[in-house]
Amino acid sequence: MTEENIKITPAKGRPMLNWVGKRPLDYVKGFPAQLVECFDPLNVNKIPQTPNYESLKDNWHNLLFHGDNKDVLATLLEKGFRGKIDLIYIDPPFKSGADYVRKVELRGVKNLNKLDNDDASILQQTMYFDIWNNDNYLQFMYERLLLLKELLSETGSIYVHLDWHVGHYVKLLMDEVFGDDNLKNEIVWCYTGPSQTSKYFVRKHDNILFYTKTDNYTFNSETVRVPYKKSTKFAGKTSFTGLTSEEKRKELDERGKLMEDWWDDVAGIGYAHGQITGFATQKPEALLERIIKASSNPDDIVLDCFIGSGTTAAVAQKLGRRWIACDLNKGAVQLTSKRLQGIIKNQISDKKDDKQLALLKENSLPKYTSFAVYKVNDYDLKILETESIELAVQHIGIQRTRTDSFFDGTFGKELVKIIDFNHPLTLLDLQLIQEELEKRPNEDRNITIVCLGKELSVDPWIEEWNKKHPINKLNVIELKTNPKYGSFLIHKPDEAKVRMERTDKTKGKVVIEDFISPTIIERLNMDNKLFKIKIPDFRSMIDTVLIDNNYNGKTFHIVYSDVPEKKDDLIKGEYEIEILENKTVVAVKIIDMLGEEVIITEEI
Ligand SMILES: C[S@@+](CC[C@H](N)C(=O)[O-])C[C@H]1O[C@@H](n2cnc3c(N)ncnc32)[C@H](O)[C@@H]1O
C-alpha cells in the first residue's frame, strides 16, 4: 500500500438515503499496479510499468485492470486521473440473489462427438457472487460512486445501468453524490425475450441513470438521431408547407428524430449474433454506441469499472475513444483482453495492408491500437479462495442460503457458517457466531462450522459452549484434516509440454505437445459421478494461446495470438514465429477454458 492518503470530496448531501453501517469515504489509498500483459501490434511501445496520467497523456495506451474497482479507482486518483475521465458507464451487479454463471464449454467436443454426455463439456464457472444484503450493497455502491465522481471531468457524464432490483436505491445515492440537479435522464431500455412468469407483468426493461458533473457537459444530440417510425403522422405546423406528403416524409427521414429517453430499438444480447461471448450479463454494443456517441467525442477517455465481457471498451475502441476498464473477475479480464485484441487486429487490417503499416504509424490511424493489463492488489488469491469454498460446499453437500446475511447455508437440519479460507477458525470467529445467535433467541438449530483449519484454543471453547447450550450446539468440519474433503483443496496448476526450436536464423517453431488442467478434469468428474470423463483432444481444454517472441521475464507482450473465433474450433497448436538472431527467450501463455493460465518459457 502506498503511504499517501487521497482526499475524497464529501457527497452533495441531499436527498439522503440511510442504511445500517453507512459511513463516508474520507480517504482512500492507492495500490501498486503491476503490468502483467500488453497488446501492442504496431509496436507503439513505451508502455509504462505504472500507469500514470502524465506519462500516458501524450503516449496513450488503453488500460485494463484486474482488481477490485475500489482499489483500482483509488490507484487512478493517485496516478493523476482526477477530473480526467470524460464518460463513465457502469453496469454493476445488482443484488439479484443469483450467482452469475458463465457456461464454459470445451472446444470442439460436440463436433468430435466422443464424449458420452454432451452436458459434461459444459463447466459452470461462477463469474461473481451477486449476493450482498442491502446494507452492504448500498455501502459498496456509495464508495464506488464517490470515487467515480472524483475521476469525472467537469464536462463529463456518468451512466449507471440498473433495473427494478435496486434502481430506486441507487438513484437516491446518485442524487446524494452528484446532486439531483445533475440528473439528466432516466433512460428506459426496453427489450423482449422469453418470459418467465405469469404471476405479474413480465419484466422487460432496464433503467439507465444519466447524470453529469456540472451544467456544462458534452452532449451530441445530432449524432444519435433515429429514423421516424413509418407510422408517424406529422400534424400541426411544419416548415414543410408546400411539399407533398411523400417529400415531407423523405425530408424528415433524412434528418431523423431526436432521441427520446425510452429506447425500444436496441435488441437484447440474445439477438445480437456475432457478439455473444457467453457472459451472462453482457450488454449489446448498440446500446453503448448510443451512449458513447452522445456523451463523448473522439479521443475522450471512457471508463467502465465493471467491464464484464468488455462491451464498453469494445465500442469505445471502435469509435476512436480512449478507454480504461476494470473487473475483479479474471475470466472477465481475459474475455475483455481477447475481445479487444480481435477488434484492434481488424481495425489495423481493415485500414491498410502490410506495406502501408509504416505510413499508418505516422498518421496514427486508427489511433490507440494498444492496451496494457495491470493487476492491482493481487486478486488471484481471493478468486482461488472463492473457488475452493464453492467446491467445498459442493463436496459436503451444503445448501447455500442467499437470504441470510450471516449464515451461508444449511446442512441437513443444521445451519452452516463457512470461515474464510485465508485464516484458521479462531476465537474471534466463534465470538461473532455467539453474538449472532444472541440476536436470534428463537433459533433452535445446531451450527456446523466449515473451516480449512482451526486454532488450538477453539476446541476447549466449543466444548464449554456445547455443555452450556444443548440447543445451538457447535460442530466443526475441518477440511484440511479430513481425507474425505482434503484432496480438492490442494490446487494443482495447469501443466503443458511445449517444444520450441530455432528453425532458421530468424525463425522459430513452437509446438504444444500436451496440456492438462487438473481442475477441469476434477470438475468434469465431479459433475458426472457415474462415469469417468475422457477428453479426446487436449486442445479442447485450451481457450487461447499467446506467444511473446522476446520475453523479458516480467511483462508478457502478446506478439502472436491464437484465439479461435468459433467455440467448435480448436487452437492450432503449432506456430511459426519470427525471432531475433541472438539467443532469445520465447514465452508461451496457455489459457484454459476456466481462465487459468500457465506460462512456459525457453531460451532458443
Ligand atoms: C453486470 S456485469 C457487467 C456486464 C458488462 N456490462 C458486459 O456488457 O459484459 C458486472 C461485472 O462487475 C464485476 N464486478 C463486481 N464487483 C466488482 C468489483 N468490486 N470490482 C470490479 N469488478 C466487479 C463482475 O465481475 C462482473 O463482471
Q: Give per-residue pLDDT as tens, 39-72.
A: 999 877 688 888 999 999 989 999 999 988 998 9
**Does residue 119 fall inside a structural domain?**
no
CA–CA dist 541, 334 (Å, integer): 15
Specify the long-range contacts of residues 360-367, CB closer than 8 Å, at least 24 apart: 360/42, 361/42, 361/44, 366/320, 367/60, 367/299, 367/320
* Residue 69 CB less than 6 A away from ligand 1: yes
pLDDT number for residue 113: 37
Q: Give the per-residue pLDDT at 451.
A: 87
77 within 8 A of 6, measured Cβ to Cβ:
yes
CA nearest 488: which of 423, 422, 392? Answer: 392
Distance in angstroms (rounded) separating the CA atoms of residues 547 and 599: 9
- The residue with greater pLDDT, 72 or 484, is 72
Residue 497 included in any domain = yes
Residue 85 lies in a domain: yes
CATH number of the domain within which 388 lies: 3.40.1350
- Span 370-377, average pLDDT: 91
For residue 111, pLDDT over 50 is answered with: no
298/320 Cα distance (integer angstroms): 5
Residues 6+ apart with CB under 8 A from 211: 157, 158, 160, 174, 178, 182, 183, 184
C-alpha–C-alpha distance, residues 588 and 547, integer Å: 5
Residue 592 · residue 517 · CB < 8 Å: yes
Last residue of a domain, one of 488, 512, 532: 488
Distance in angstroms (rounded) separating the CA atoms of residues 90 and 99: 19
In this prediction, residue 268 carries a pLDDT of 87
State the Rg of the chain over Cα: 27
Q: What is the CATH number of the domain that holds 180?
A: 3.40.50.150
Instruction: Count the Cβ atoms, other than its own, within 10 Å of residue 50.
Output: 14
CA distances from 471 to 458, 461, 525 (A): 19, 16, 39
Ligand 1 probe mutation, 75, 136, 306, most atoms within 8 A of CB: 306
Pocket-testing residue among 327, 330, 377, 380, ligand 1, by greatest number of atoms within 8 A of Cβ: 327
User: Is 311 touching ligand 1 by the criterion CB < 6 Å?
Assistant: yes
* Closest C-alpha among 595, 572, 567 to residue 112: 567
Ligand 1 pocket: which of 95, 141, 309, 328 to mutate (most atoms within 8 A of CB): 328
Residues 203, 141 share a domain: yes
- Strand pairing category for 62-66 and 322-327: parallel
Confidence band for 365, pLDDT divided at 50, 70 and 90: low
Helix (H) or strand (E) holding 414: strand 414-418
**Residue 208 sits in the same domain as residue 338:** yes
- Give, in order, the Cα–Cα distances in Å from 3 to each of 28, 29, 31, 364: 10, 7, 9, 39
Residue 258 within any structural domain of the chain = no
Q: Are 208 and 53 in contact (CB under 8 A)?
A: no
Indicate which residue's Cα is closest to atom 12 of ligand 1: 306
Work out the angle at residue 559's Cα, subtended by the Cα atoms of residues 537 and 371, and round it to the nearest 5 degrees.
Answer: 110
Confidence of residue 566 (pLDDT cuts 50, 70, 90): confident
User: Are 417 and 501 part of one and the same domain?
Assistant: no
Q: Are 290 and 224 in contact (CB under 8 A)?
A: yes
Read off φ and ψ for residue 418, nearest 5 degrees.
-100, 125
- Of the two residues 163 and 98, the one the predictor is more confident about is 163
Q: Do 177 and 51 belong to one domain?
A: yes
Q: Which residue has the cell 458463465?
A: 102
**210 pLDDT more than 60:** yes
pTM, full prediction? 0.75
CA of 51 to the centre of ligand 1 (A): 22
Centroid of ligand 1 to alpha carbon of 327 (angstroms): 6
Higher pLDDT, 493 or 297: 297
On whether the CB atoms of residues 305 and 326 are closer than 8 A, the answer is: yes
The minimum-distance atom of ligand 1 relative to the CA of 332 is: 27
d(CA 571, CA 592): 11
Does 352 have pLDDT greater than 80?
no
Instruction: Write out the three cell numbers for 409.
Output: 447455508
- What would the grid cell of residue 187 be? 433512460
Spatial separation of the C-alpha atoms in residues 561 and 20, rounded to whole Å: 49
| DSSP-derived pairing of the beta strands 122-129 and 85-90 | unpaired
Return mean pLDDT, the chain: 84
- pLDDT, tens only, 257-300: 899 999 999 988 876 767 777 777 899 999 999 999 999 999 99
CA–centroid distance, 561 to ligand 1, in Å, is 25
Amino acid at 353: D
Q: Residue 424: is the preceding peptide bond cis (ω within 30°)?
A: no
* Distance in Å, CA 70 to ligand 1 centroid: 12
Same domain, 364 and 387: no
Q: Is the CB of 326 under 6 A from ligand 1?
A: yes
Q: How far is the CA of 389 from the centre of ligand 1 (A)?
A: 20
Report the pLDDT value the prediction gives residue 97, as an integer from 0 to 100.
Answer: 47
Q: Judge whether residue 387 has pLDDT over 70.
A: no
Tell me, rounded to whole angstroms, the distance of Cα 571 from its chain centroid: 24
Ligand 1 touching residue 143 (CB < 6 A): no
Residue 252 in any domain: the answer is no
Q: How many CA atoms lie within 13 A of 273 on its CB side?
A: 0
From the DSSP assignment, how many helices (H) and strands (E) are in the chain?
A: 15, 27
Do the beta carbons of residue 38 and residue 561 sit within 8 Å?
no
Q: Which of 325, 359, 378 represents a domain boundary (last residue)?
A: 378
User: What is the residue whose three cell numbers read 470524460?
Assistant: 86
Under a CB-based contact definition with an 8 Å cutoff, are residues 4 and 30 in contact? yes
- 68-77, 213-222, 227-236, 365-374: the lowest-pLDDT one: 227-236
Residue 16's pLDDT band (boundaries 50, 70, 90)?
confident
Question: Distance between CA atoms of 459 and 519, rounded to whole angstroms?
Answer: 33
Q: Quickly count: other Cβ atoms within 10 Å of residue 112's Cβ.
A: 16
> From the alpha carbon of 128, which atom of ligand 1 is closest?
25
The answer to whether 595 touches 125, Cβ cutoff 8 Å, is yes
Domain shared by 153 and 195, yes or no: yes
Is there a single domain that holds both residue 157 and residue 16? Answer: yes
3-state SS class at 155 = strand
- Taking the centre of ligand 1 as the mean of its atom positions, its distance from the CA of residue 94, in whole angstroms, is 10
Nearest-CA residue for ligand 1 atom 27 is 308
Are 288 and 309 part of one and the same domain?
yes
Structural domain contains residue 331 = yes
- Hey, is 165 helix, strand or coil? coil
pLDDT score at 195: 81
In the chain, % of residues over pLDDT 90: 51
Ligand 1 atom closest to the CA of 130, numbered from 1: 15
Residues 364, 397: one domain? Answer: no
Neighbours of 515 (CB within 10 A): 23
Ordered DSSP codes for 457-472? THHHHHHHHHHH-SSS
Q: Please give the grid coordinates belonging to residue 191.
A: 427489450
**Is residue 364's pLDDT more than 70?**
no
Answer yes or no: is pLDDT of 106 > 70. yes
- The finding on whether 157 has its CB within 6 A of some atom of ligand 1 is no
**CA 316 – CA 322 distance, rounded (Å):** 7
Residue 236 domain-assigned (yes or no): no
Residue 127 alpha carbon to ligand 1 centre in Å = 9
- The pLDDT tens digits of the residues spanning 506-515 come to 999 999 999 9
Atom of ligand 1 nearest to the CA of 283: 8
Residues 10, 470: Cα–Cα separation, whole Å: 50
pLDDT at 487: 56
In a domain, 502, yes or no: yes
pLDDT, one tens digit per residue, over 400-438 is 877 788 898 898 899 999 888 777 899 999 999 999 999
CA angle, residues 190, 208, 338, in degrees to nearest 5? 90
Look at 548 and 106; give whichever has higher pLDDT. 548
pLDDT of residue 478: 86
pLDDT band at 98 (very low <50, low <70, confident <90, very high): very low
Task: Tally the domains of the chain.
Answer: 3
* Residue of the CA atom closest to atom 4 of ligand 1: 308
d(C-alpha 369, C-alpha 61), whole Å:
8
Task: For residues 331-345, give the mean pLDDT.
Answer: 92
Residues 374 and 278 in one domain: yes
Same domain, 169 and 281: yes
In this prediction, residues 113-124 reach a mean pLDDT of 47
- How far does residue 62's CA lie from ligand 1's centre (Å)? 18
Given 346, 378, 410, the domain boundary residue is: 378
Q: Whose CA is nearest to atom 7 of ligand 1?
A: 282
Is 371 in contact with 340 (CB distance < 8 Å)? yes
The answer, yes or no, to whether any atom of ligand 1 lies below 6 A from the CB of 68, is yes
Say how many Å lie between the CA of residue 256 and the centre of ligand 1: 35
Q: Which range is least confidently modeled, 56-70, 240-254, 536-550?
A: 240-254
For residue 145, how far is its CA from the centre of ligand 1 (angstroms)? 15
Alpha carbon nearest to ligand 1 atom 2, residue: 308
Q: Is 336 in the pocket of ligand 1 (CB under 6 A)?
A: no
- What's the domain range around 585? 492-603
Has residue 116 got a pLDDT over 50? no
Return the ligand 1 atom nearest residue 92 CA. Answer: 10
d(CA 304, CA 334): 15
Ligand 1 centroid from CA 328, angstroms = 7
Residues 521 and 470 in one domain: no
Please say whether the beta carbons of 578 and 480 come within 8 A.
no
Determine the distance separating the centroid of ligand 1 and the alpha carbon of 30, expressed in angstroms.
20
| Res 353 pLDDT > 70 | no
Any atom of ligand 1 within 6 Å of the Cβ of 206: no
The CB of 377 under 6 Å from ligand 1? The reply is no
In this predicted structure, the answer to whether residue 357 has a pLDDT above a threshold of 60 is no
Residue 391 has pLDDT above 60, yes or no: yes
Contact (CB, 8 A) for 59 and 45: no
